[in-house]
Homo-oligomer: A and B are copies of this chain.
Amino acid sequence: MTEQVTPADIRAAAARISDTVVRTPLLPFGPAEPGRPLWIKPESLQPTAAFKLRGAYNKIKQSLPEARERGIVAHSSGNHARSVAWLAQRLGLRAVIVMPDTAPPNKVDVVRELGAEVVLVPPALRDTHGFVLAEQHGYLPVPPFDDPAVVAGQGTVGLEIMEDLPDADVVLVPVSGGGLAAGVATAVKALRPRTRVVGVEPELAADAEQSLREGRRLAWEPEQTYRTVADGLRTHGLGQVPWEQIRRHLDEIVTVSEEQILDAVRRLALDARLVSEPSGAVTFAAYLAGDTTGKHVAILSGGSVNPALLARVLTEPAREEALHEH
């Protein structure tokens, strides 16, 4: 199969979305380890709390007359939903959002407040019901990851990283449906093939790690992936479009434990002043757990954290921090 997303597509996306998407900076991480400096790319600072704004906007803006006439439909565990609803409100589009009935209430509320219609379905139906509604009502689907325009939009994160740090050695990117990982790997490898692009998954939702290792796209069941606290990474398999890019361009995928993820959320808040959701913190967790050398970039993909969870990790410090503070 030929590649469906080219570096030229990603550059075109960057120009298309620049009127709305925040050009996030690379933030040098103060207490980085010797020989392995780290920069954080805080996509949590997008107005919709996550990188998802990039892909959704690239997709919608490419088909704006159609979207205006027909309305749009999306399915999502949260951040894609919020981005689509936010764009629909700004652009004056009708939006229907299909969400799993297990989604955190704060993420559902945010979408409703933006004026979108929310349809809650069991997790097993969330990836298909949007297409059913699109068929029935004529809505334009805005997929969360399995679409070339969406992958190209997410790839703009990779372009910006290489603009700001052209000699980055390792770029760490979260993997769920694969849109961000596919776009970033495609962009980075086109600009500097020897930069390593490393995907990160929770141990409890490591379907992409297994897929890449075995060389075949496979899925984990929702009953498995729903165990991780990283609710944005529970998608039960890579999309076909992302998979084609990932198997060509991503160097490897590593996994992190639940404890490592929660510790990363805590340290990002206190050491980098960044609020992250668990899914957004997996790359920083992988940096802390790893031993690769050179210039690292960790993509912090989103910040829609449950307030109680954030409060809990702040008051349950890891062992060394407890020793340090008292």
Contact = CB atoms under 8 A, between A and B. Distances in A.
Given A307-B315, A325-B106, A49 B269 contact: no
Give the oligomeric copy count. 2
A325 B25 CA distance: 32
Interface string A244-276: 000000000000000000000000011011111
A314 interface: yes
A269 B310 contact: yes
A42 B109 CA distance: 26
A48 interface: yes
A154 interface: no
B25 A23 contact: yes
A24 interface: yes
Contacts of A274: 45, 273-275
Contacts of A310: 269, 311, 314
A18 to B, nearest CB: 13
A122 interface: no
Interface in A263-320: 269-270, 272-276, 303, 305, 307-308, 310-312, 314-315, 317
B30 A22 contact: no
A114 to B, nearest CB: 9
A193 interface: no
B45 A25 contact: yes
A307 B314 contact: yes
A47 interface: yes
Nearest to A271: B49
Nearest to A86: B30
A82 to B, nearest CB: 9
A83 B307 CA distance: 30
27 contacts: A22-B25, A22-B28, A23-B25, A24-B25, A25-B45, A27-B47, A28-B47, A30-B47, A30-B48, A42-B45, A42-B273, A45-B274, A105-B325, A106-B325, A109-B324, A109-B325, A269-B275, A269-B307, A273-B275, A274-B274, A274-B275, A308-B314, A310-B311, A310-B314, A311-B311, A311-B312, A314-B314
